[in-house]
Structure 1
């Protein structure tokens, strides 16, 4: 048995002993010091939401709270440190957004359950085991006491613990329900083509069957950066033996840097489970707008391939009219044009509108992109799917709503405005009543959906 295995089994035994002890000290399973609920009593998330929001200043900013949390976690359980990447900044940002999402949706526990069930499935790739969540809970309690100091009180801690357990319970169930599939898929790089100094198109061949839907994204891990995962969209049609990914290098030292500049044919990459909501339903689409900026084209390429297959099968999608609006900073950023030109030439149902910034600021080109989308709206307009870097997607979607496009017609994967607002207020980054700018770190998926949840919880 390895040292990590021994450490985990010790943790598991300690967790079971604590559970039994709490049961003995709380007859009838009434609410105890750690916030457990009486058996059969429904969870009043709204009450906990009010308690947490009324005392948010005690634990703000989230960045400091989370720093204390991880310090307590790794001090008490050093073996857990190996599950995380060397740099914790990305993980801390993810957890801050997860806390914001939980607080915002606490009065809607069913939504939290759906979202965190998916997170539990996805987090199996990190090697997490149920007993380790108990260690995370204890570390959270320690962090709350340190951050709140003399103003800490037991009701606040109980509310935070109950909120955490709501999400963790869903994650454990999601992990259990996915036991029929691998936690992640190993894949070999079969092609690596540079399309510019900072852009590469990769093809990966999974070692086992990998199923996904066009419009979903996956996370990738390079062997150069263990335990560091970043989301990307497969650009190919599902069911192929190889997967195609478009990766724009966003800076030195990250996953995108490793995939663009330090990956070769024959290297191994790991793939996480597919997720996301930028997919096509079975209902007739009518008019469909696909809005892409830069590598957001990858998501749209997969969707166009699926649409093409449906158009030729006599399905109800045959009456669909698709308008693809492509934005880029320079002409060289508008890559893969040969494929797109050939594809569009034989499909009368597809209209392509390219918009290049050139010497103009990108913000001006985004405005033109919004104007072009707004110009093709109609009373029976169907959905608008937006893909690209987070800042571009946020700017475009906000402008489209201001231009009159109903928010329910927009599909993307950025956190909702409410989640950004809670995080901004907690971190002191935005005034009350206004949404903070999106805190999505570099390397998030290129497509983003109002109906999506937070970034993955890193525990």
Structure 2
């Protein structure tokens, strides 16, 4: 074992964890075979009645009820603490399916609650969102019975949080919301039975570009389907059960090799494990590709790409794909932000991206030191360089940069449906009177 790995690796239950996933894979294979032989699938054991699972579900009414009683169950940190306590008290074996530190899961669940509440009056959007979530949760070993346990734990948590002010209306609105979400998640998981729950990969190259930043190349045992601009959740064997999202830094390649740019954002987390304690030949696990920051089929407009930090990974992948299928005569502008010149960690690849591509213009925006831009922030630089209202825009990088850039582009009359960006790790805001407000993202910018 390499120096420094002992504080990461927790072997307790890891063999049982692998055996559990092997069992689930066999069960999924049998379910898929039954589906192929008998396409008429029986209802899921956790499926909700048709009037709830379908478009007739009155999410708006439940949204109003949940919002009215929010003061009884917020802050959600307390509700979620009660939920996990109740779940593990009744089913101690479930604790082994979670990482040692539950903080990321608590934040993740809090954002999911806010998302559901804010969008509950748009059930079609919620169903699509939850179907993707169900597909992704297969890698965690989540089964329909676990949703039933979660529902019972949520009901108990609502009672503990609300105390004497608990009401039947409060609980039933929450449970209807959960059942609607679960039905979509189960459907999403079932639709993904033909693909692996996760992909096993091997690190083929590991380059430290800075002490806190590494470029990894990974080859999977089976073909890994994805599109340029998407991201994948990675799990290191040094931190079992712990998954973090990272952008793919390449378009699909004939050799199937994948590239990731990882910046260490904290001590003891996945990013440190990947940057400082991972070597060539080490195994990794990859969840299914996610994200909609992809080029439209039949792209006809010019493209604007704004990237900062390791957001360059997404930009690099998009440029690779644009080189293959950009519209005839179309142009692309790339604004690449960095704090200093030294923070441009992938200059060789950047130079290669420019070489022989007259349709591409690259504008570095350096924040301080030699070569510092006179324009100020990258948002200022973009605003001063032209009219982007007829472009398709792609923004990737630190959350604050992405937020500022999206706001600036919107103010410059670029329609929101033509701005695609990395999900932003925002702060969950409490509801204001008469409304529900939140900034929600299940792919956080804090990749520790």
CA distance in structure 1 between the partners assigned to 2:202 and 2:51 by the alignment? 51
Relative to structure 1, the CA distance from residue 294 to residue 137 in structure 2 (aligned partners, 3 Å threshold; closer, same or farther) is same
Report if aligned partners of 2:87, 2:153 keep a CA contact under 8 Å in 1.
yes
Distance 2:444 2:227 in 1: 25
> Hey, what's the Cα distance between the residues in 1 that align with 2:435 and 2:296?
35
Q: Greater relative contact order (Cα 8 A, min sep 6): structure 1 or 2?
A: 1
- 1:323 aligns with one of 328, 333, 347: 333
CA change 1:45–1:53 in 2 (3 A) is same
Which residue in the other structure is 1:352 paired with?
362
Gaps of 5+ in 2: 1-15, 25-47
What does residue 29 of structure 1 align with? Answer: none
How many residues align? The count is 403
Q: Which position in structure 2 is the counterpart of 1:304?
A: 319
Residue 118 (1) aligns with residue 132 (2): yes
Specify the SS of the correspondent of 1:319: coil
Paired residues of 1:249 and 1:257 also in contact (CA < 8 A)? yes
Query: What's the counterpart of residue 393 of structure 1?
Result: 402
Which shifted more, 279-288 or 165-174? 279-288
Matches within 5 A, 1:161-172: 161-172=175-186
1:341 matches 2:351:
yes
Does residue 219 of the first structure (1) align with residue 233 of the second (2)? yes
Give 1:339 deviation, angstroms. Answer: 1.7
Deviation digits for residues 294-347 of structure 1 (CA, Å, limit 9, x no counterpart):
100101111101110124xxxxx1222100000011211111112211321310
Which sections of structure 1, spanning at least 5 residues, go unmatched? 10-34, 312-316, 446-459
CA contact (8 A) 2:215 2:259 kept: yes
How far apart in 2 are the matches of 1:424 and 1:74?
A: 28
Matched with 2:387 is 378
How many angstroms apart in 2 are the aligned matches of 1:409 and 1:284?
A: 11
Distance across 1 between alignment mates of 2:436 and 2:165: 27
Contact 2:265/2:447 (<8 A) preserved: no
Deviates more, 1:381-390 or 1:394-403: 394-403
Task: Find the counterpart in structure 1 of residue 91 from structure 2.
Answer: 77
- 2:420 paired residue number: 411
How do residues 104-143 of structure 1 correspond to structure 2 at under 5 angstroms?
104-143=118-157
What CA distance in whole angstroms lies between the structure 1 residues aligned with 2:49 and 2:256? 48
Does the 8 Å contact 2:367/2:377 carry over to 1?
Answer: no
Q: Does 1:275 pair with 2:276?
A: no
Distance 1:365 1:375, change over 3 A: closer
Partner of 2:28: none
Q: Distance in 2 between matches of 1:174 and 1:413?
A: 23
Deviates more, 1:394-403 or 1:180-189: 394-403
